[in-house]
Structure 1
Amino acid sequence: MRWRVAFPGICVLLLIAVILTSQGERHVSLSDGVVAYFKRQQPIFAEKTVQLRRHIEQLQPGDSTSLLAARQALRECRISYKSIAFFLEYFFASEAYVFNAPAKYEIEEPYIEYEEPVGLQQIEALLYDPQVWQHRPELAAQATVLVQTAQDLHALLYQFSATSAQVTESIQQELIRIMTLYITGYDAPLLKSGIAEAAAAMKAIDTMLTPYQDLDKKDSIKYYLQQGIHMLSTQPDFDSFDRLSFLVNNALPLQRLLLNSNHDLFSATALKKDVFPHKDITGDTALGRRLFFEKALSGNATRSCATCHQPERYFTDGLMRNRSLTGNEVLPRHTPGLLYAAYQYSQFWDGRVQSLEEQVKAVMHSPQEMNANDDTVLHRLHNMPNYRGISLLQVQASLAAYLRTLAPFNSLFDHYMAGNKQALTDEQREGGNIFMGKGQCATCHFAPLFNGLIPPRYNRTEFEVLGIPAVDDLTHPLPDMDSGRLAFFPIGFYKGTFKTPTVRNTAVTAPYMHNGAFRNMEQVIDFYNKGGGNGIGLSVPNQTLSAVPLQLTPKEKKALIAFMEALTDRDPIAH
């Protein structure tokens, strides 16, 4: 239910693992094994697509029985797909796209190529649309594409070859999808089949790795696979599934074994900062920290970075929108926080620059923010003992270097995921499961950063259209007139589009949203619970957030806020 914005990048997790303890024949067997496995599973999946098409063709207007049968067929088809997803998603991404692309237009940057919504997610969106009966022709066309593509999948194996390292990496990436996408309902938010899909994916991994594992040894890959499959299979209800227990007790120990490392997805070192956009010039972190508080960088020498990004306020300013440098006007957008800003492929709410160095330069040159003249700034700095001889490139690089240190990973949640099971209260754990489940928060705020970095490669930044109102009155909402990314990329699908920020430290950084419209978390949750802009009565044709109400209870909302409080870093200033 979102579109993709593609950026250059690489897989940023350490996905080189030693699963096999010997070389030669065993490695060849793993490569051969994936081919044999796919040959067995492909006809099963192809038949599931045929059954889905049959039930779609049998849809009758007003007949709820035929609609429920079609939805059940879709569920079975999705589960079957997840049995081969690790193979297709890694080795044949274009075919995987046909089956499981988001149910919205995809936009490939910088070429601005549009891709029509297609596949299982689009069928889900249509089957759950109130006007479902009017979509029968499109549903039939979508199903036919699935059937034809699924039946031809066997041709992919012609002259196919893969190394054991590639197969291993495909399994690694699938485990990350299980932890961050499947159990959160990312690609089946209405069907809520994510737990069963995760079980199918883990069974596929288990089948692939069984010949190489000690079947009796506890604390082994086999042990955690079996324990995870058991939990997913015996607790299939999406809303009540205990995701935190699954992660801590099964998935993360399994990942550490697969990585042959003490690190996992929630380790502070899991995502490498140096793969995100940055300039080649090396910055001085200590110098950058001094410059962060240096008012000489502004045109009238009255404002520093810390004026608006106050460390004691978790690098925000606590205002709905700050004022311009002269104080004569209000800035157009809410001041975003800087914590974890290094883990992004674009900066600013509209993503108009990529690197932190570019962000520093843009803010300094903005007439409303710093209004800096380069020659004047350099003249001032060169007359100060700490900055003699400094260049503007060094200013930008050093400030960016300092910003890259602002990633504490020191919240109660981080301690819990690292093994301290007493770090979270029962209410916070319940809230975490709602965040990653019924509340659908984690379908846009992806673990472990809880921002718009899309797993499993974390090489794309997501933008969303939420339909945020101009003010916090949800009963009589007024449309926000900010065009968002449209002003930077003038294409219709970007109207009202904004980058998905991290929700780490959100409990202490009110107000919220790009315009600061919501004063507290209760208002934010209420907005999402009602289905975003469309849900509260605004007309947002390109909204990427589902307009279906979440049906959260008061108790669940309270628990969700408790979990958000557990994402607060203990001492961000020290970092």
Structure 2
Amino acid sequence: MIGKKTGVGSATRYITGILVAATACCIHFSFNPPFNDTRAIAMAYADEFEKAAIELETIASAFKFNKAGLKELQTAVLSTRLAYKKAECVLAYYYPEYIEEHINGAPVLHIERNDSRAIVKEPEGLQVLDELVTGDADAGKVKIASLAQLLKTHCHTLLAGFKQQPVKENEWIDAMRLQLIRIFSKGITGFDTPGSLNALPEAVSSLTALKTISAVLLKEMNKEKGGNKLIRLLNDAIAFLQQAGSFDDLDRLTFLKQYINPLYAELLLLSSKTVIAADAWNKASRNIFAADFLNPYFYSGLKEQEDNDALRSLGKKLFYDPLLSSNNQISCATCHDPAKAFADGRTKSSSNVQGQTVQRNAPTLLNAAYARRYFYDMRAFTLEQQAEHVIFNQMEFNTAYAAILQKLNSNEQYRGLFKKSFGGSHINRDQFSKALASYVLSLRALNSTFDKYARNEIKTIDAEVQQGFNLFMGKAQCGTCHFAPTFSGLVPPLYTENESEVLGVPEDPDAPVKKADADSGRLGNKIYSEQAWIFERSFKTVTVRNAGLTAPYFHNGSYKTLDEVVDFYDSGGGVGMGLEIKNQTLGADSLHLTDGEKRSLVAFIQSLNDTGEITGY
């Protein structure tokens, strides 16, 4: 739940003088030269980024041959990143996959699918460079020069296409709102700056660019007078970050409530078209912590227009009915008990074989709909497919669709309920899947104490919770894997991809001699295109929402309390406790959390508990 991905360098900060100079440069020159239209802004920021990338390549090459110093190299990386941040909102809007792959992706090994085979790829781009130049840069001279050259090449390719790309009015608004999400969920958490933690100056660079774009866009839309609040909020947000002090000192909760959310709502008011929630991100949402921020139907085969109360009620009946299992003894609720926040409180769930358990711990189904991959090993791609795995698993329902449908079609009550929802006299597999999905989709719990505070529905929240949130999103680095607002591995700002992590969870943390849990995780999910060594012991990053109600923790249920979980992360995971873990993606260094900080983290996680509208449903 806590911890930062580790890449190829160590986490150190840039020299303070470099930060101040670069930030000042970013602020004072954002409005120079004057822009007549938004396209001119886009082209100017693109050109600035390309020039910075070219200069970086020159300096990195000189550094390789001892003709440039480390400080000069660090300044060049910083300047390139600040230039990129000005253009990021529009470049990432049109080319998100290219940006992730070549420009600013996470500094971790990943796979590329080639003829259904997985090929392990080294990371590249600005995040990798950020780590390298703040770590042992001398040892990485050749790699730094090579990556800088690649960045220059990819930047040129990207911008050659972008300069032919028209940017429409509403696309600007969407791009800017997505950038606000990106700043909050990946920028100020340190995700984007894994080596330098130079998150605040980069956020200032982004917001300054948004201010420039907004001023010209308002003029183009003839809404200059009505845009005063937007410009004022942007100015105030920039000033707030400039006065924040260090990365650890930033009050992220105040930044969210007073600036990010108001800006997010204010930009929506500029939209001139009716917004339809067809994607995962709901463009019509007015708050990043709004219950409708994400569209749950994006993640399911069930469409919103097909869903209704009758179908949901039918799905609920199926969920609690042991008739679905081969021995008529196990229902979905056996492992996902509403009284236990739709988990089961066991280390590993009971199976249909007496005295045996299933392979792993049961995660909560609350908010489970918000995912593109299911199970700890990510072997299922939809809610419907997730149910299918349970149905066929010999340790769970141990049956098949044909047997279930025969039982349902032989049951007069079920025939009537299905006819009410779908018409016709025969129950089929698609109808069964949609009914069950309807109920699981309804298990949304986004009304916790913290959610209400973030939405300004309550005026106060405990100071310990506030500190815990700021730690979660900052020093403790939890938010770099458990992304807001789902606090899971669903990656912002588009929320269409799930991450998995290698944490090095031990088999028994209380054992005198500890050893890594033998579960192969994602490597054993039987998806051929993901059979790569980097996924050994890699498990889906699940939500921390309702974690206060769903002990024990991790895929093997080996940790009994949240306090123990926090200690595990603070110690650097499996590698930090001395285990040999291949490709651990969690940083192995201690987070150096105090006892008080640990208590605050737990308090924040507890503030995300919410079953009020679900319990007993």
461, 464, 468: which one pairs with 2:498?
A: 461
Mapped partners of 1:360, 1:154: distance in 2: 44
Q: Quick check: 1:273 aligned with 2:273?
A: no
Distance apart, 1:87 and its partner CA: 3.0
Mapped partners of 1:67, 1:502: distance in 2: 40
Query: Residue 535 of structure 2 aligns to which amino acid in structure 1?
Result: Y
After superposition, residues 180-329 of structure 1 pair within 5 angstroms as 180-213=185-218, 220-260=229-269, 263-278=286-301, 282=306, 284-329=311-356
43, 50, 56: which one pairs with 2:51?
A: 43
In structure 2, the residue matched to 1:145 is 150
User: Does the C-alpha gap of structure 1 residues 536 and 573 become closer, same or farther in structure 2, counting only changes over 3 Å?
Assistant: same
TM-score by length of 2: 0.81
SS of equivalent residue, structure 1 residue 220: helix
SS of equivalent residue, structure 2 residue 37: helix
| RMSD (CA atoms) | 2.9
Query: Residue 529 of structure 1 aligns to which amino acid in structure 2?
Result: D
Mapped partners of 2:592, 2:232: distance in 1: 37
Contact 1:34 1:167 in 2 (8 A): no
Q: Quick check: 1:354 aligned with 2:363?
A: no
Distance apart, 1:305 and its partner CA: 0.9
Contact 2:111 2:532 in 1 (8 A): no
Q: Quick check: 1:86 aligned with 2:89?
A: yes
Distance apart, 1:72 and its partner CA: 5.3
Moved more, 397-406 or 77-86: 77-86
Contact 2:369 2:440 in 1 (8 A): yes
Q: Quick check: 1:31 aligned with 2:39?
A: yes
Contact 1:215 1:222 in 2 (8 A): no
Contact 2:345 2:550 in 1 (8 A): yes
User: Does the C-alpha gap of structure 1 residues 207 and 517 become closer, same or farther in structure 2, counting only changes over 3 Å?
Assistant: same
In structure 2, the residue matched to 1:115 is 121
Mapped partners of 2:191, 2:533: distance in 1: 25
TM-score by length of 1: 0.87
Distance apart, 1:263 and its partner CA: 1.6
Distance apart, 1:115 and its partner CA: 3.4
Contact 1:279 1:357 in 2 (8 A): no
Moved more, 240-249 or 109-118: 109-118
Mapped partners of 1:188, 1:361: distance in 2: 40
450, 455, 461: which one pairs with 1:418?
A: 455
After superposition, residues 54-133 of structure 1 pair within 5 angstroms as 54=62, 58=66, 70-71=73-74, 73-93=76-96, 94=98, 97-108=101-112, 112-127=118-133, 133=138
Q: Quick check: 1:173 aligned with 2:216?
A: no
Query: Residue 466 of structure 2 aligns to which amino acid in structure 1?
Result: R
User: Does the C-alpha gap of structure 1 residues 219 and 516 become closer, same or farther in structure 2, counting only changes over 3 Å?
Assistant: farther
User: Does the C-alpha gap of structure 1 residues 132 and 320 become closer, same or farther in structure 2, counting only changes over 3 Å?
Assistant: farther
Between the aligned residues of both structures, percent identity stands at 32
Query: Residue 259 of structure 1 aligns to which amino acid in structure 2?
Result: L
Mapped partners of 2:181, 2:539: distance in 1: 25
Mapped partners of 1:348, 1:153: distance in 2: 36
User: Does the C-alpha gap of structure 1 residues 159 and 537 become closer, same or farther in structure 2, counting only changes over 3 Å?
Assistant: same
Query: Residue 511 of structure 1 aligns to which amino acid in structure 2?
Result: P
Q: Quick check: 1:404 aligned with 2:441?
A: yes
User: Does the C-alpha gap of structure 1 residues 128 and 37 become closer, same or farther in structure 2, counting only changes over 3 Å?
Assistant: closer
Distance apart, 1:59 and its partner CA: 9.6
Distance apart, 1:139 and its partner CA: 2.2
In structure 2, the residue matched to 1:21 is none
CA deviation profile, 1:483-522 (whole Å, cap 9, x unmatched): 1111123222221111111110001111111111111111
In structure 2, the residue matched to 1:479 is 516
SS of equivalent residue, structure 2 residue 111: strand
In structure 1, the residue matched to 2:11 is none
356, 360, 366: which one pairs with 1:339?
A: 366
User: Does the C-alpha gap of structure 1 residues 373 and 164 become closer, same or farther in structure 2, counting only changes over 3 Å?
Assistant: closer
SS of equivalent residue, structure 1 residue 247: helix
In structure 1, the residue matched to 2:21 is none
Query: Residue 342 of structure 2 aligns to which amino acid in structure 1?
Result: F
Mapped partners of 1:160, 1:374: distance in 2: 49
Gapped regions of structure 1 (runs ≥ 5): 4-26, 61-65
Moved more, 408-417 or 219-228: 219-228
Distance apart, 1:551 and its partner CA: 1.4
Distance apart, 1:193 and its partner CA: 0.8
Query: Residue 100 of structure 1 aligns to which amino acid in structure 2?
Result: N
Q: Quick check: 1:437 aligned with 2:460?
A: no
In structure 1, the residue matched to 2:281 is none
Moved more, 558-567 or 40-49: 40-49
Moved more, 558-567 or 348-357: 348-357
549, 557, 571: which one pairs with 2:590?
A: 549
Query: Residue 86 of structure 1 aligns to which amino acid in structure 2?
Result: C
Moved more, 272-281 or 465-474: 272-281
User: Does the C-alpha gap of structure 1 residues 149 and 408 become closer, same or farther in structure 2, counting only changes over 3 Å?
Assistant: closer
In structure 2, the residue matched to 1:7 is none
User: Does the C-alpha gap of structure 1 residues 367 and 144 become closer, same or farther in structure 2, counting only changes over 3 Å?
Assistant: same
Contact 1:71 1:191 in 2 (8 A): no
Distance apart, 1:196 and its partner CA: 1.4
Q: Quick check: 1:512 aligned with 2:571?
A: no
SS of equivalent residue, structure 1 residue 226: helix
Distance apart, 1:145 and its partner CA: 2.8
Moved more, 27-36 or 397-406: 27-36
Mapped partners of 2:547, 2:333: distance in 1: 19
User: Does the C-alpha gap of structure 1 residues 507 and 58 become closer, same or farther in structure 2, counting only changes over 3 Å?
Assistant: farther
Distance apart, 1:343 and its partner CA: 0.7
In structure 1, the residue matched to 2:18 is none
SS of equivalent residue, structure 1 residue 197: helix
CA deviation profile, 1:130-171 (whole Å, cap 9, x unmatched): x65433322232233334555777645654433233333322
User: Does the C-alpha gap of structure 1 residues 162 and 555 become closer, same or farther in structure 2, counting only changes over 3 Å?
Assistant: same
Distance apart, 1:322 and its partner CA: 1.8
Distance apart, 1:75 and its partner CA: 3.6
User: Does the C-alpha gap of structure 1 residues 153 and 311 become closer, same or farther in structure 2, counting only changes over 3 Å?
Assistant: closer
Query: Residue 275 of structure 1 aligns to which amino acid in structure 2?
Result: F
Query: Residue 346 of structure 2 aligns to which amino acid in structure 1?
Result: L
Query: Residue 432 of structure 1 aligns to which amino acid in structure 2?
Result: F
Q: Quick check: 1:529 aligned with 2:533?
A: no
Mapped partners of 1:211, 1:282: distance in 2: 42
Mapped partners of 2:313, 2:64: distance in 1: 63
CA deviation profile, 1:160-216 (whole Å, cap 9, x unmatched): 433233333322221211111101111213311112111111111111112345788
Gapped regions of structure 2 (runs ≥ 5): 8-34, 270-283, 416-425
CA deviation profile, 1:376-414 (whole Å, cap 9, x unmatched): 434443454421354443332211110000002110011
